[in-house]
Amino acid sequence: MKKTYLKVLMPMALALAVSQNLHAATPGPTIMPITIADPAQKIQVERDEDGVRRLDMTNPSHYKLVKQRLAQAGKGSAMFPQLHKTLDDQKQQQLKQKTLTGKTYDIDTTIDETQLDLIKNAHLFLEYNVGISEDNNEPYLLIRAKSSVYGGTKQTYIDLLLEDGKGNTLAPMGSTFNVLDGKNTLATSQVRLSTLKQQFPDLETIYASSYVETEAADGTITSALKYTEYPFSWDHIDRLYPQIAKDDGSKTLSSVTVMTNGKPTYTPKAPVDVNTDGVIKVCLNRNHADCDYAADQYLDPNEITDVNIPFDGEIRIPHEIAEIYPTDLAPENRPNGVDELTNIYLQEGNYGGATKQSYKGLDNSVKNFSDYISDPEVVTNPDGSKETILRWNIPRDEGRFGNAKLFSNIAEANWYITFAASGWPYFNHGRGGAAQPFQVSITSEAATRFGNYYSPVLPKIKLGYSCLAKGTMITMADGSQRPIEKILAGDMVKGAVANNPATAQPMKVADVSIGIEALQMVRITQANGQELLVTETHPVSTSNKGIVWAKELEEGDRVLTETGSQLITTVEREKYNDKVYNLKLEPMAGANIAEGSYLGMFAGNTLLGDLSTQDEHNYKDQYIRESSEEILQRLDEKWKTDYINSLK
């Protein structure tokens, strides 16, 4: 029997007024109406067939709503003229789209096999948390929302508004304006707990809303609104953060007393740092000792390589959970106040977007995250307090997070576990006793300048792949040449410090990586006719650029060789359907090489980085940002005033 899900009322400033033309006959998909408390005072933003609350700028009420949010965030039209003009630009785009198709938005339903499970325009609430500030040693409420668009944007604007049940603003509105990126845009709303308690001593639920607007490379503008709800209890918070130091400047963050009983507790079995080297590394199509999770598909070279990660663990939370809403719950059955779905998301900042877990069996049946979650278990602790335990176990072969082509191995991946739940926060049934919907989330993204968190912060995940093509000739310690696939751990090769061929000396092969390659590889041709075929992020030593990725090489660069350097004449991309290899080198005892030096081997006569150098260089650019001057040089003229004012 189909379940009937609870419909709830949103706070006054969240649910927003109904426009006068709401019931105008407009062709398009069936949409779900929102239950609202006072139609005369609120603007209605409906979910579409995808469950997204897309804004229609041809609707005067939607237009007015965005104007109000921009004003509340301090983004006035004088300082941000183009941000306001995009509302009119979007209106014109939507009017044109309505004329052509009868719909405000043209939703792309084309399915690319390599982009299954990809959320191209990801808009996520990350977590509700409390953290101790490193600046003043006080606890703050922290809530964040994120926009990440696959391939990036010309501009992204995201805000975050926190309210109580009466529509009162709980914290300064968070907002971020971003140009020429759009792959990792965060909005944070934060407030001191002492201030929050003074102003809202009866706070029980935090109602969050986030608006995001993006402009794609082709000029298409999209905007959407998203809601969620977080339970809150001063009794609970006061027990966890007693007698926080406020005026004693001698106290440090580490000396603050924070009780641990009652905080959400995450216990993982997978993924974890198996080899205890301080990072969770999942090898997509490689197999070597640095992998916490070795490649599971490396024996089958093919064009499509999945990202498979096991997820096995439990979380204890201080709420009574009646039900976890299914991941694939139809939009019309979702609770009004909680738009986030029960899911695990994986996201890295180099390509943008996010992928979600899903698994399709041989019978074409689909299993999502919620299908792996066991029934909630309520436990009573020795001190009499109660918790609910949620457990899940996704085997690696069913923990599919899309295709390897959706990820780079040059940026760490963040991940988020989100539960859309129905129940009784803090086991309080109140007067009516009805269960209410709310969100519980944990994330790997720590807030800057905060620590000692209420909710656990997950470790980041590294995805590993990069090697040399089968048949690449490696110079051995005795000067002979051997195909890389014939080299074993323990063999001796000719190695060197990766940027100095003059340090060439015998080195031991400590580890061998074997895999496949799903991405196009890079063929490097030198003036002497020598060719190398390497993966795009394999480190190559050059005389004019230093150590760079193969994909960064250009005609005219010079690669380092045993005898000096060679001119690169061509750099080309090509598909490759065979095994790839890499070697991890180890200097001999007593070698005159500084500890921590990047090491390399000679492929033919060319100096290339080894496996350790590859791992170090994978993440060399993830925290590098363009200067404001560089951004202004590339930025469209229309956005320059907004961008300059965003820096103030």
Inside any domain, residue 121: no
Note the pLDDT of residue 18: 28
The token duo for 471 is 């048949």
Question: Range with the lowest mean pLDDT among 21-25, 113-117, 193-197, 393-397?
Answer: 21-25
Number of structural domains, the chain?
A: 2
pLDDT in tens, 614-644: 877 766 665 566 789 989 999 999 999 999 9
- What residues make up the domain containing 497? 468-617
Quote the tokens at residue 632.
Answer: 């202004």
Pairing of strands 359-360, 366-367: antiparallel
Q: What is the DSSP string of 561-618?
A: ETTEEEEEEEEEEE---S-EEEEEEEEPTT-S--TT--EEEEETTEEEE-HHHHHHHT
Q: Across the beta sheet with 174-179, what order do the strands follow?
A: 53-54, 221-231, 205-215, 155-163, 174-179
Asked if 451 and 586 sit in the same domain, the reply is: no
Residue 489 in any domain: the answer is yes
Same domain, 495 and 479: yes
299 and 414 assigned to the same domain: yes
Counts for the chain of helices (H) and strands (E), in that order = 8, 39
Token pair recorded at residue 457? 């912060």
Tell me, yes or no, whether 95 lies in a domain: no
Please, are residues 358 and 119 in contact by the beta-carbon 8 Å criterion? no
State the amino acid at position 584 in one-letter form. Answer: K
Residues 337 and 429 in one domain: yes
- The Cα–Cα gap between 248 and 635 comes to 47
SS (H, E, C) 369-399: HHHHECCCEEEECCCCCEEEEEEEEECHHHC
Are residues 450 and 550 part of one domain?
no
**Average of per-residue pLDDT across 507-534:** 87
Most confident of the following: 430-439, 489-498, 519-528: 489-498
Confidence of residue 114 (pLDDT cuts 50, 70, 90): low
pLDDT band at 35 (very low <50, low <70, confident <90, very high): very low
237 φ/ψ angles, rounded to the nearest 5 degrees? -65, -40
Please tell me whether residues 367 and 452 are part of one structural domain.
Answer: yes
- Per the CB < 8 A criterion, the answer to whether 44 and 14 are in contact is no
pLDDT bucket at 36, cuts 50 / 70 / 90: very low
Summarised one tens digit per residue, pLDDT across range 498-509 is 999 999 999 999
User: What pLDDT was estimated at residue 260?
Assistant: 57
In whole angstroms, give the CA distance from residue 420 to residue 6.
13
Considering the domain architecture, whether residues 395 and 483 belong to the same structural domain is answered as no
Domain check: are 524 and 550 in the same one?
yes
Residue 310 lies in a domain: yes
Q: What is the largest CA-CA distance in the chain?
A: 86
pTM equals 0.80
Residues 399 and 443 reside in one and the same domain: yes
The residue type at 115: Q
Total Cβ atoms within 10 A of residue 89:
16
CB 492 within 8 A of CB 506: yes
Kindly state the tokens that stand for 616.
Answer: 């170090």
Q: Which of 75-79, 182-186, 224-228 has the lowest mean pLDDT?
A: 182-186
H or E, element range at 346:
strand 343-348
Q: How confident is the model at residue 32 (pLDDT cuts 50, 70, 90)?
A: very low
Q: Are residues 307 and 431 in the same domain?
A: yes
Q: Are strands 481-483 and 320-324 parallel, antiparallel or unpaired?
A: unpaired
* Co-location of 488 and 547 in the same domain: yes
The rounded radius of gyration (Å) of the Cα atoms in the chain is 27
Asked if 592 contacts 483 with a C-beta cutoff of 8 angstroms, the reply is: no
Residue 326 banded pLDDT, cuts 50, 70, 90: very high
The least confident of 232-236, 301-305, 376-380 is 301-305
By DSSP bridging, strand 461-464 and strand 280-283 are parallel
Residue 180, domain member (yes or no): no
Tokens of 486: 């014939």
Distance CA 284, CA 294 (A): 7
CATH number at residue 504: 2.170.16.10
Q: In which residue are the tokens 């897309």 written?
A: 54
Type of residue at 85: K
Least confident of 18-32, 379-393, 546-560: 18-32
Q: Tell whether the model's pLDDT for residue 224 goes beyond 60.
A: yes
Q: Which of 446, 464, 482 is the last residue of a domain?
A: 464
Same domain, 525 and 498: yes
**Is residue 221 situated within a structural domain?**
no
Asked whether the predicted pLDDT for residue 244 surpasses 90, the reply is no
Distance CA 519, CA 406 (A): 10
* Dist CA 181 CA 340 (whole Å): 24
- Would you state the structure tokens that stand for residue 583, as one six-digit string? 């070697």
Q: Please indicate, yes or no, if residue 291 is contained in any of the structural domains.
A: yes
Beta strands in 13-154, from DSSP E residues, in sequence order: 53-54, 118-119, 121-133, 139-149
pLDDT of residue 242: 76
Q: How far apart are CA 593 and CA 595, in angstroms?
A: 6
Task: Name the pairing type of β-strands 155-163 and 118-119.
Answer: unpaired
Name which residue leads in pLDDT, 554 or 40.
554
Instruction: Decide which of 431, 464, 497 is a domain's last residue.
Output: 464
Q: Whole-angstrom Cα distance, residue 126 to residue 147?
A: 10
Q: Which among 464, 482, 513 is the end of a domain?
A: 464
Query: Is 212 within the bounds of a domain?
Result: no
Q: Which residue reads 């750099």 in tokens?
A: 571
